[in-house]
Amino acid sequence: MKHRIVLLLLVICCSLQLNAQERRIQENGKTYLIHVVQKGETIFSLSKAYELNKKELLNANPDLIFGLKTGQELRIPVEETAQEEPILEPQKEELPKFHTYRVKRRDGLHFIAKRYHVEVEDILKYNPGLNEERLKRGMELAIPDADDLKRIREEQKQRQAQAKAQKEKKSTPVIKTHRVSGEETLYSIAKKYDRSIAALLEANPEAKNGLPIGMELIIPEEKVQVKAEDVKDRGFFIHLVETGETFWALEREYHVARDVLEKYNPALVNGLQAGLRIRIPVSEELPDIEVEPVDDNAFVKHQVKKGETLYSISNHYQVKISDLKKSNPVLAYRGLMAGEFILVPKVIQPQEAVAVDQPKENDQPLVRVEEPETVEKIRPLRHAIQVVHRELPEVCKPDFTAAYEKYDVALLLPLYLKENETVNQIPVTREEMLQDSLWMSQFEDASQLPEDTFKIREDVIVYPRSENFIQFYEGVLLAVDSLKKAGMKIELHVFDTNQEYAVVDSLVRLDLFNKLDLIIGPVFPNLQKPVADFAHQNRIPMVSPLSSAGNFESSNPWYFKVNPTKDYLVRQTADYIGEEYFNKNLIVLEMGEYKHLDEATLVNLCREKFFSTGFLEGDREVRFHEYNFKREGYWGLRRILSKTRENVFIIPSETEAQVSVAVSNINSLSEDFPVTLVGLSNFQRYKSIQPDYFHHANLHLLSPYFIDYYAPLTNRFIQDFRENFSGEPTQFSFQGYDVAYYFMSALFQYGKDFKDCLPYHHVDLTQGEFYFDQVNRYGGYMNRGLFVVNYLKNYEVGIDGVVGTPNVLVTEN
C-alpha cells in the first residue's frame, strides 16, 4: 500500500512537471502543447506521458529523427472536440407594454411624449401613418411604456454585444511563432512565411535591434490583399488612389460614373485620398481587345497565377512593364486575371538585334548635324502582334463623297507685319534720289521729288519676334498643299494678331468668322479668350498650337490643346519611372527647396509607386533615397549607390543652375556606377549643360516632340521646305505642318464635328504622336501622346517608345 502511494505521488509530480513546462499554440488549424525537454526524458517516456505513439510524435516533430536534446521544444498534438457556440440569430423584435391615450384638444406630440417620458419617434414608430397634422381630438394612440421600452433596448444591446464578441472570437487569428536559428535574417524569415519585413517588425518591435539565436518571433496573420486579377469574377477591380488623381480620370479609365464609385466606396464622400484602396465595379463598356502573335517564337505564353502582378511578372522575365502592356493591350484597361494567358516578349539579345536596328546604306538623313547632342535617330519599332479592336463607328468612317465642299480655316499668328516692314525700310534723302536714275525715271523733273522717302532693303531681314511664327506658317502652307493634292478644297485665312488683345477681339466680330470650319491660334493664351468664347458659342473647333499654359480646355468642349500641361508631363513621368524602374535603386537628388514646385508632385508620386510595389520590402537591393546634396555632398552620395543595380536619379528642380550642378556630378558618378537620369523635357533647353553629360548619364525624358530624320515623311518634308522656302526647317516648321495636317485632315474626313472620331484618327506626322483625350466630362481636349527620348551612350538620341496613346488598331467592316 505504501509503495502504491509513493508511485501515485511520483506520477502526480511528473504530471505537474509536464504541465508546468507546457504552453498551448495553434498552427494551420491544429492545436499543440509545447513541451521543453528536460534532462533524462526519452521519446518513450514522453509518448507514455502524453498517451501518443512514437509515429504521431515524429510527425509533429520531424527533427526527432536526429535524437532528443535537453531544452528542445516539442509539439504535442492535442485532439480537441471543439464545441461551437450557437450562432446568435437575430430575434424578432419584442413589443413593449402600451398605454392608451385619447387625444385632447390642442394636444401635440411633443406634449404627449414628455408626459409619458418617451420620444416623439417612439410614438410615431408604434402608430404608423401618424404625423402632427393628422393628430385630431378623440384619436386613440398606443404609447409605449417607458420602463418596458428601456428594458427591451438594454436586452437588445446585450444580444448585439454577445454577437459581436462571438464574431470576434471566431475571427481571432491563428498565432504562429518562429524561433530564430543561426544565420537567419528578417529577410529569410519573411520569405519563409510569405510575409513582409514591415509586418514582422510591427508584430515584433524588439527585432529592430537584432535577431539573437533563440529569439522567438510572432508570425503575424497573413493579410489578404485583394487584387484586380482576383476580383474580376466577383465584379470589381481594386484601385490604389494616387496623389492628385481625379474622379474623371477614374471614370475615363474604368468607364464607371462617379456616383457609382461613391456607392461602392462610402469613404469617397470625403474626396479621393492618396493611398485609399477603392472598389471599382467592372463595366461592360471596357474594351474587348484580342491579340494574335504574328510570330509565336517572339513570345512566351505565361499563365497568370493567383497573386501575381505586372511587377512580379516583369521582374521574373526581366522585361519592361510597358512591353507587357504593348503585347497585351487589354492591360491598359484592367488588371491581371488569375488563370488567363498573357504574351511575354522574349528579350532580344544584342547580336540578334544588330540586323534589325541598322539603317540601310541608302537610307541616309537629308540633314547632316555635326553637333552630337542634336543627332537624332529613331530605333525602328517591330510590331510582333496583331491587335483587334471594336469596329469603327459608322459616324467615323471617312466619307470623301463630299470632296467638292470648301473648308474655311483661320490661322491667327503674331507675324508682326508692320514691324517687318519697318525693319526692312531704308531712308532715302533727296540728294540720293537725284543721283539714282531709277528714282529720277519715276518723275518728270527734280521739282517733283519728295524731300525724303524709303526703299526696301535688298537683303530682306526678318523681325526677330516673328521669325518662329513665320516658320510655323510655312509648315502650315506645306500641309495645305499636301491636302489640296489629296482633293481637299481649303481656303486659308491668315490674320496677324501682333500680340494685341484688341486686334484679336476685333477679328472675331468679322462676318468671315461665322463661316469658319476650323480656327488655329492665337498662340498666346492671354489672347485666346475672345476666340475661345466665340468658338464655344458657335461650335467651331479651336486649336491652341504651341502653348501648354492657360486652361480653356477645362470648360470649353471645342478647345484643343496640342502641347500638354506640365502637370500631365510630371504624372506621366512618374508612371514611367514606376513601371520601368520599380526594382532599381532610386535617388531623389535634392539640390534645394522644391516643395512648392510641380516637381514635388513627381517625388510624391514616385514615393507612392515604389512603396506600393512591395519590392522595397522583398528585395534588399531596391532602395528609395531622398538625398540632400547640399547638406551631404558628393562623397555621401557615392555611399548610397549600387555597383550592381541601376541607380536612377530624378532632380526635383526647375532652376537651370541647380540642374546643371546635379548633372555634372551624375556625369562623374557614371564612371564607377550604372546610372540613369530621368528628367523633364525642359532639360533639353538648358544651354549651360554640356550635351555629352546627358549621354553619360543615360538621360531619359518624356517629350511631345521627336524628329526622326530617318523617316521618309521627314525627308520629304525637308525636301519640300527647301524647294519652297530656300531654307532649313526648324521645330516650328515641323509643328506647323503637324498641327495643320492633323486637324485639317480630320475636318476633311469627318466634318467640323470631328471630336468623337479623333481616337480613330491616325496620320503620319513629322515630329508628334497626337492622341487627344477629353480632360473632363464637360471640357475640351488635350494631346496625351509623348515620346520616351533616350540620350544614348554612343552620342545619339533615340526613342524607347511612346506613352499616353492607345495601343490598339481599329477594324473596318
Q: What are phi and psi of 164, to 5 degrees?
A: -65, -45
pLDDT score, position 363 = 43
Residue 656 near residue 620, CB atoms below 8 Å: no
Residue 695 near residue 789, CB atoms below 8 Å: no
Query: How would residue 536 be classed by pLDDT, with cut points 50, 70 and 90?
Result: very high
pLDDT score, position 808 = 47
Report the C-alpha gap between 648 and 650 in whole angstroms. Answer: 7
Q: Is the pLDDT of residue 518 over 90?
A: yes
Q: Is the pLDDT of residue 84 over 60?
A: no
What are the distances in angstroms from CA 112 to CA 141, 149, 537? 10, 16, 62
pLDDT score, position 619 = 60
pLDDT score, position 89 = 46
User: How far is residue 330 CA from its own chain's centroid?
Assistant: 16
Q: Give the torsion through C-alpha atoms of 358, 320, 322, 613, to 10 deg.
A: -160
DSSP string, 515-572: G-SEEE--SSGGG-HHHHHHHHHHT--EEE-S-----GGGT-TTEEESS--HHHHHHH
Strand ranges for 753-795 from DSSP E: 772-774, 781-783, 786-791
Predicted confidence (pLDDT) per residue in 35-58, tens digit: 777 766 677 667 656 667 666 777
Domain with CATH 3.40.50 in the chain: 567-703
Q: Is the pLDDT of residue 166 over 60?
A: yes
Report the C-alpha gap between 702 and 573 in whole angstroms. Answer: 7
> SS3 sequence, 467-521?
HHHHHHHHHHHHHHHHHHHCCCEEEEEEEECCCCHHHHHHHCCCHHHHHCCEEEC
Question: Where do we find the cell 413593449?
Answer: 96
Q: What are phi and psi of 669, to 5 degrees?
A: -70, -25
Q: Is the pLDDT of residue 812 over 60?
A: no
Which amino acid is present at 101? Answer: Y
- Greater pLDDT, 123 or 270: 123
β-strands 585-590, 623-628: how paired? parallel
User: How far is residue 393 CA from its own chain's centroid?
Assistant: 29
Report the C-alpha gap between 480 and 490 in whole angstroms. Answer: 7
DSSP string, 363-379: ---S----SGGG-B-PP
Report the C-alpha gap between 426 and 439 in whole angstroms. Answer: 14
pLDDT score, position 512 = 93
Query: How would residue 288 be classed by pLDDT, with cut points 50, 70 and 90?
Result: low
Please state which of the ranges 25-34, 74-83, 135-144, 466-475 shows the lowest mean pLDDT: 74-83
Q: What CATH fold (topology level) applies to the domain 1-79?
A: Membrane-bound Lytic Murein Transglycosylase D; Chain A (3.10.350)
Q: Which residues contact 621 (CB under 8 A, 6 or more apart)?
A: 585, 642, 644, 645
H helix intervals, 424-459: 430-434, 437-440
Reduced to 3 states, what is the DSSP secondary structure of residue 338? coil
> Which whole number is the average pLDDT over 711-740?
94
What are the distances in angstroms from CA 186 to CA 28, 176, 613? 22, 15, 19
487 φ/ψ sector (left φ>0, alpha ψ -120 to 50, else beta): left
pLDDT score, position 396 = 77
Q: Is the pLDDT of residue 90 over 60?
A: no
pLDDT score, position 777 = 80
676 pairs with which residues across the strands? Answer: 648
- The mean of the pLDDT values for the chain is 77
Q: What CATH fold (topology level) applies to the domain 228-345?
A: Membrane-bound Lytic Murein Transglycosylase D; Chain A (3.10.350)
- Greater pLDDT, 302 or 11: 302
pLDDT score, position 570 = 92
pTM: 0.63
Express as a percent the part of the chain with pLDDT over 70.
71
Q: Is the pLDDT of residue 452 over 70?
A: no
What are the distances in angstroms from CA 486 to CA 482, 489, 748? 6, 9, 10
At the second CATH level, the architecture of 567-703 is: 3-Layer(aba) Sandwich (3.40)
Please state which of the ranges 23-27, 138-142, 644-648 shows the lowest mean pLDDT: 23-27
Which amino acid is present at 553? Answer: E
Predicted confidence (pLDDT) per residue in 91-129, tens digit: 556 788 888 888 876 677 767 877 788 877 788 778 877
Predicted confidence (pLDDT) per residue in 655-665, tens digit: 999 999 999 99
Q: Which residues contact 265 (CB under 8 A, 6 or more apart)?
A: 276, 278, 279
pLDDT score, position 254 = 76
Report the C-alpha gap between 524 and 528 in whole angstroms. Answer: 7
Query: How would residue 439 be classed by pLDDT, with cut points 50, 70 and 90?
Result: low
Q: What are phi and psi of 199, to 5 degrees?
A: -65, -40
Q: Is the pLDDT of residue 788 over 70?
A: yes
Q: What CATH fold (topology level) applies to the domain 98-170?
A: Membrane-bound Lytic Murein Transglycosylase D; Chain A (3.10.350)
pLDDT score, position 296 = 72
- Greater pLDDT, 415 or 234: 415
Query: How would residue 800 be classed by pLDDT, with cut points 50, 70 and 90?
Result: confident
Predicted confidence (pLDDT) per residue in 590-629, tens digit: 998 888 888 888 988 888 877 766 655 556 666 888 899 9
> Which whole number is the average pLDDT over 747-766?
87
Report the C-alpha gap between 499 and 416 in whole angstroms. Answer: 8
- Greater pLDDT, 641 or 47: 641
Please state which of the ranges 118-122, 133-137, 368-372, 459-463 shows the lowest mean pLDDT: 368-372
Question: Where do we find the cell 496573420?
Answer: 221
Predicted confidence (pLDDT) per residue in 688-722, tens digit: 999 999 999 999 999 999 998 888 999 999 999 99
User: How far is residue 455 CA from its own chain's centroid?
Assistant: 60
The secondary element (H helix, E strand) that includes residue 139 is none
Reduced to 3 states, what is the DSSP secondary structure of residue 456? strand
β-strands 236-240, 22-27: how paired? unpaired
Domain with CATH 3.10.350.10 in the chain: 1-79, 98-170, 228-345
- Greater pLDDT, 551 or 373: 551
